[in-house]
C-alpha cells in the first residue's frame, strides 16, 4: 500500500470553506494530512467541505474565525493544535477583493482588504510560529496582480498582494535557520465565484493568459500540495505564478 505523502502532517488553511481554499483543504486531506480550516460566516459551505473530506476517509475540522481578527485567528491556531495534535503546514488563503476607482475608493473597503489580506496573513503566522518546527511549511496565497495588472480598479488589491509577496521573501530568510520554508502561490484567473467564467469581461480576461482559458481551484491546490510535500524542503522565498501565462 502506497503511503500518502502528507500522512501524519497537520495543516491549517485560512478561508477554507469555498473556492480555492476549499480545494486546498480537500487536496491536503487526500494527500494524508489532517486539516483544520477557518471560515467566516457560511457554516453550510464549511460543513460541506468537512463532509467531502470525511466521506473519503480524511480528517477535517471547521473553525469559525474572522481572518482580520488577531484574537480569533490565534484561537483558531490553538484549537487546531489542541484537536489535531500539532501543526506543520500553514496555508494563508483568506482574502477579500473590492474593485473601484482610486479617486472614490471606499475607506471601509480599503481597511477590510488590508485587515484580511495583509494583517490576517501576519497574525496567522505570528500565532502559528511557536508550533512550527523543523520541516514545517508556510504557504501564502497571493495573486498574479502583484506583478501585472491588466485592468483598472484593483490597485488596492494588488497592493495588498504585493505586500504578501514581500512578506514571504523576508520571512523565508528569517525562518530558514529554523528549517521552515515560506512560499507564495500567486493565482491568475481561476474559476471561482470571485471571477465568473462567463460574460464579456471573462472573455477578455481569458485572452490575457497564454493558455486562453481560466484555471481551476485544483490547479492552485496541486501547487500547494507540492510545496507542502516533505521533498520540497529546499524551495523557499519563491513566488509561484499559477496563472496560465498571465504574467509572461
Q: What is the mean pLDDT of residues 167-189?
A: 97
Q: What is the mean pLDDT of residues 101-112?
A: 96
- At 112 the pLDDT is 98
pLDDT tens digits along 183-225:
999 999 999 876 666 666 678 888 889 999 999 999 999 999 9
Is position 157 annotated as part of the catalytic site? yes
* DSSP state at residue 123: H
The answer to whether residues 208 and 150 touch, using CB atoms and an 8 Å cutoff, is: yes
pTM: 0.96
Q: Is pLDDT at 101 greater than 60 in this prediction?
A: yes
- Degrees to nearest 5, angle at CA 95 with 120 and 180: 55
If we measure between CA atoms, which residue out of 39, 40, 90 comes closest to residue 61? 39
Q: What percent of the chain has pLDDT over 90?
A: 88
Q: Is pLDDT at 162 greater than 70 in this prediction?
A: yes
- At 204 the pLDDT is 80
- Degrees to nearest 5, angle at CA 175 with 97 and 222: 50
Q: Which of 105, 157, 214, 234 is catalytic?
A: 157
Q: What is the mean pLDDT of residues 22-30?
A: 98
- At 3 the pLDDT is 86
CA atoms within 13 A on the CB side of 248: 9
- At 207 the pLDDT is 87
The answer to whether residues 220 and 24 touch, using CB atoms and an 8 Å cutoff, is: yes
**CATH, range 10-242:** 3.40.50.720
Q: Confidence band (pLDDT; 50, 70, 90) for 9?
A: very high
Helix ranges, the chain (H): 19-30, 43-55, 70-84, 107-113, 120-128, 155-175, 200-206, 217-228
Give buried/exposed letters for 133-172 (b at 16+ CB in 10 A, else e): eeebbbbbbbbbbbbeeeeeebebbbbbbbbbbebbbebb
Q: Is pLDDT at 1 greater than 70 in this prediction?
A: no
The rounded distance, in Å, linking the Cα atoms of 13 and 77 is: 10
Q: Are β-strands 89-92 and 59-64 bridged in parallel, bridged antiparallel, or unpaired?
A: unpaired
Amino acid at each position: 500500500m502506497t503511503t500518502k505523502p502528507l500522512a501524519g502532517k497537520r495543516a491549517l488553511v485560512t478561508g477554507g470553506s469555498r473556492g480555492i481554499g476549499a480545494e486546498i483543504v480537500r487536496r491536503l486531506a487526500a494527500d494524508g494530512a489532517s486539516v483544520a480550516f477557518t471560515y467566516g460566516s457560511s457554516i453550510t459551505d464549511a460543513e460541506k467541505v468537512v463532509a467531502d473530506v470525511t466521506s473519503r476517509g480524511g480528517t477535517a475540522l471547521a473553525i469559525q474565525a474572522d481572518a482580520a481578527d488577531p484574537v480569533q485567528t490565534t484561537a483558531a491556531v490553538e484549537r487546531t493544535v489542541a484537536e489535531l495534535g500539532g501543526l506543520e503546514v500553514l496555508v494563508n488563503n483568506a482574502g477579500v477583493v473590492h474593485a473601484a476607482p482610486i479617486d472614490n475608493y471606499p475607506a471601509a473597503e480599503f481597511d477590510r482588504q488590508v485587515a484580511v489580506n495583509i494583517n490576517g496573513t501576519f497574525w496567522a503566522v505570528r500565532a502559528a510560529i511557536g508550533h512550527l518546527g523543523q520541516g514545517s511549511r508556510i504557504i501564502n496565497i497571493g495573486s498574479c496582480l502583484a506583478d501585472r495588472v491588466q485592468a483598472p480598479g484593483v490597485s488596492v488589491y494588488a497592493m495588498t498582494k504585493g505586500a504578501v509577496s514581500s512578506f514571504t521573501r523576508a520571512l523565508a530568510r528569517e525562518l530558514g535557520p529554523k528549517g521552515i520554508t515560506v512560499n507564495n502561490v500567486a493565482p491568475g484567473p481561476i474559476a471561482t465565484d470571485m471571477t465568473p467564467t462567463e460574460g464579456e469581461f471573462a472573455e477578455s480576461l481569458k485572452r490575457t493568459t497564454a493558455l486562453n482559458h481560466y484555471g481551476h481551484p485544483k490547479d492552485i491546490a496541486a501547487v500547494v500540495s507540492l510545496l507542502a510535500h516533505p521533498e520540497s524542503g529546499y524551495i523557499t522565498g519563491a513566488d509561484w505564478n499559477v496563472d496560465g501565462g498571465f504574467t509572461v
